[in-house]
Amino acid sequence: MFSEKMQQAMNDQIKHELDSAYIYLSMAAYFESTNLPGFAHWMRIQTGEEQEHAMKFFDFIYDRGGRVALQAISQPPADFASPLDAFEKALAHEQKVTGLINDLYALAVQEKDYASQIFLQWFVDEQVEEEKSAGDIVDMLKMIGDKGQALFMADRQLAQREAE
């Protein structure tokens, strides 16, 4: 059975996923303003993925006979000290989202909500990928720094990302 507590927690997660999309869109805007279109492209794709995640929760709530109650999203930061700073913030944000997903999964276990556990397993797996992806870029930026030819090459590499 889909409990009121589980429904509310998933409604909260829709907000968090849309917050994530807004944060990444803000990062895309920052990268556009600093003439790093490849980094901006990467963040735009990330924005779309977060919107898809929100819609997965939206659809699952209705599939279970629940009701979606949308919440206000927060204004994201608009400026970052550097590309490294932006990606460190993206990684920290993904780690926060991992905690939120883990809490949701724990609630599903507590509620003996097996359908939600199965649904949430996809998000548990996805967060491993999300953290690794952002972490790899943080590591790369730490190696190459924020200026010069290497940053230009990194920008070209990130421009190759395709939507999944």
pLDDT digits (tens, 9 = 90+) for 83-121: 999 999 999 999 999 999 999 999 999 999 999 999 999
Dihedral angle sign, alpha carbons of residues 88, 90, 94, 96: positive
Please write the tens of the pLDDT for every residue from 59-77. 999 999 999 999 999 999 9
pLDDT for res 148: 75
> What is the C-alpha to C-alpha distance for residues 37 and 15, in angstroms, rounded to an integer?
28
The pLDDT of 117-129, averaged and rounded, is 97
The whole-chain average pLDDT of the chain stands at 95
Nearest to 161 by CA among 52, 55, 53, 49: 49
> Going from the N-terminus, what domains does the chain have, and what CATH number goes with each?
4-70+82-158 (1.20.1260.10)
pLDDT for res 128: 97
Nearest to 98 by CA among 132, 72, 70, 47: 132
